[in-house]
Amino acid sequence: MRDAVRDCLRAQVDGSPVERVVETRQQLNIAYDRFAARFGPLNLRANQRAFDGDPDLPLLLSLEHYNDETKRATKATIFTERTIHHRKPVETVAEPKEALLVSLNEQGRVDLDHMSGLLNKPADEFLPDLKGIIFLNPQTSQWETDDQYPSGNVRDKLVVADAAAVTDARFAENVEALKSIQPEDLPATEIDVRLGASWLPPDDVKQFIHKLLNVPSGVEVGHVHALGSWHLNANWEAKGATANTTDWGTDRYTALELIEDALNLKTPTVYDIVDKKPVVNAQATEATREKQERIKDVPYTHLTLPTTNPV
Last residue of a domain, one of 179, 214, 245: 179
Q: Is residue 142 part of a domain?
A: yes
Are 100 and 119 spatial neighbours (Cβ–Cβ below 8 Å)? no
Structural domain for 71, as ranges: 2-79
Q: Is residue 275 part of a domain?
A: yes
Exposure b/e, 226-236, CB count within 10 A at least 16 = b: eeeebebebee
203 shares its domain with 247: yes
Last residue of a domain, one of 120, 154, 179: 179
Q: Is residue 25 part of a domain?
A: yes
- Chain-centroid distance of CA 265 in Å reads 18
16 shares its domain with 51: yes
Q: Is residue 55 part of a domain?
A: yes
73 shares its domain with 103: no
Last residue of a domain, one of 155, 179, 203: 179
288 shares its domain with 205: yes
Counting the structural domains of the chain, the total is 3
pLDDT in tens, the chain (311 residues): 999 999 999 998 888 899 999 999 999 999 999 999 999 999 998 998 888 888 899 999 999 999 988 889 999 999 999 988 767 788 899 999 999 999 999 889 999 999 999 999 999 999 999 999 999 999 999 999 998 999 888 999 999 999 999 999 989 999 999 999 998 887 777 777 788 888 888 998 999 999 999 999 999 999 988 788 999 999 999 999 999 999 999 999 999 999 999 999 999 999 999 998 999 999 999 999 999 999 988 864 444 444 444 44
Q: Is residue 89 part of a domain?
A: no
CA distance 17 to 162: 55
148 shares its domain with 239: no
